[in-house]
Amino acid sequence: MNSLVTKIEDKTAIVGVAGLGYVGLSLAVEFAKGGYQVLGVDISQERIAQILQGESYIIDIKSKDTAHLVQSGRLKVSRSYDLLRDADTISICVPTPLRKTKDPDTSHIRLAIAEIKRIFHTPLLIVLESTTYPGTTRELIANEIEQLGYKVGKDFYVAFSPERVDPGNLTFNTKNTPKVIGGATKRCTEIARKLYDKVIEKVVVVNSTEEAEMIKLLENTFRSVNIALVNEMAQMCDRMDIDIWNVIGGAQTKPFGFMPFYPGPGIGGHCIPLDPMYLSWKAKTYDFYNRFIELATDINGNMPHFVVRKLSRILNERKKPLNGSKILILGIAYKKDTDDIRESPGLEIYRLLKKEKCSVEFNDPYVRSFEEGGKNIRSKKISAGMLKKYDCVVVSTDHTHYDHTFIAKHATLIFDTRNAFKSIKSKKIVRL
């Protein structure tokens, strides 16, 4: 342990990162900028090629920073885990999706551990950052490596530290977002804390890997449930002909006991649509059924359908059937000022409208195109002429790049699901 601690303290430790997506690449860059030699592995040949060319495919990381770190030799990447043979620490940041049955898919974690076991050496610190159910770190990492004859907390060290990446956030990033860490043993926790302390402004220590895993799921379940509540309120207010946005605005004037959440066309990204289901699945193994999670998932997942139903009503009031209408979706990313389309409600709205035989196109300053039905659907450039040709512009994502005044002036009809046009008074703007 002492040799590993010394290496971490004097920054001679070699830091490995498995998985170079939104979480992994951000972490790798932060460690490299902090003075460590970083080795990154990803199964995507495209990602590896882009990094080696000095290009960043993550919106929050500048290409010039990636290029500098690669050129200086501070950041090295490969598709092969053989690169990590000399790593003193390995942070696992691989995807954890859901299967179609809504069960956790831990295959990427299992693959990473199988590769790490192949190149395993002591002492080694392994930190899992991929969101997963309580018990995963101990079951799939600590126990697996102990089967090789090593003792966790003595020969090797294991911890869980939930990722808290928020793409497009201009205030909080990897460095200044508090980092939770829980180890399989006290020694594991302490060594992991020492490592992350070197590059993260604040590290929060908890008692175990299970506590750290549960913290991440609580954070996202909290958001999922509260978003579902306000989405259900939005549907109720729509039926009562009450403006939900004005209701929220009035409620948030209360200086205590209320936290504003906002309705929208659905929820996207990796975290909120998927992570609570990990907790729900694990709870069932204890004969505990989390009704809040199931209900929130149902409400949020059906918001794109509500958007399309309301759009049909809006067009019908103007003697225009949904079938055959020309629709422009404004923003296809799941949140503003990012290119992340994972689980985006905009994509689901696109699919639903296509099923209704609409002519659908989209504009997004951050997303050039997406694949749908074997076709490459490209973003359309906004102009006065193109806006006028659509029967309705559906605002799915409100990027700060949009000129609301220009769009409101030239569009025939706007269905605003994000309250983006709140400052513009016009009868052709209909809010969610």
Q: Residue 2: its pLDDT value, please?
A: 67
Q: Where are the domains of the chain?
A: 2-211, 239-268+302-431
String of DSSP letters for 346-369:
HHHHHHHHHHTT-EEEEE-SS--E
Which tokens go with 357?
């035989």
Q: Residue 174: its pLDDT value, please?
A: 94
Bridge pairing between strands 89-92 and 125-128 = parallel
**CB-based burial, 379-392: b 16+ in 10 Å, e otherwise:** beebeeeebeebbb
Beta strands in 283-346, from DSSP E residues, in sequence order: 326-330
Note down pLDDT in tens along the chain; length 432 residues. 469 999 999 999 999 999 999 999 999 999 999 999 999 999 999 999 999 999 999 988 999 999 999 999 999 999 999 999 999 999 999 999 988 888 899 999 999 999 999 999 999 999 999 999 999 999 999 999 999 999 999 999 999 999 998 888 889 999 999 999 999 999 999 999 999 999 999 999 999 999 999 999 999 999 999 999 999 999 999 999 999 999 999 999 999 999 999 999 999 988 888 889 999 999 999 999 999 999 999 999 999 999 999 999 999 999 999 999 999 999 999 999 999 999 999 999 999 999 999 999 999 999 999 999 899 999 999 999 999 999 999 999 999 999 999 999 999 999 999 999 999 999 999 999
String of DSSP letters for 143-189:
HHHHTTT--BTTTBEEEE------TT-SS--TTTS-EEEEESSHHHH
H or E segment and range at residue 431: strand 429-431
Asked, colleague to colleague, whether 2-211 and 239-268+302-431 share their fold, the answer is yes
Please say whether the structural domain 2-211 has been given the CATH code 3.40.50.700. no
Predicted TM-score of the model (pTM): 0.93
Q: Is 271 a known active-site residue?
A: yes
Q: Residue 260: its pLDDT value, please?
A: 97
Q: Which of 197, 195, 201 shows the shortest CA–CA distance to 174?
A: 201
- From the CA atom positions of the chain, what is the Rg in Å? 24
The helix/strand/coil state of 317 is helix
**CB-based burial, 339-365: b 16+ in 10 Å, e otherwise:** bbbbbbbbbbbbebbeebebebbbbbb
Q: How far is 146 from 348, CA to CA, in rounded Å?
A: 44
User: Span 239-268+302-431: which CATH code?
Assistant: 3.40.50.720
Strand-pairing partners, residue 181, are 205
Q: Which of 188, 237, 271, 358 is flagged as catalytic?
A: 271
| Region for 409 from its dihedrals, namely left if φ exceeds 0, alpha if ψ lies in -120 to 50, beta otherwise | alpha
Interhelix angle 345-355/303-317, rounded to 10 degrees, is 50
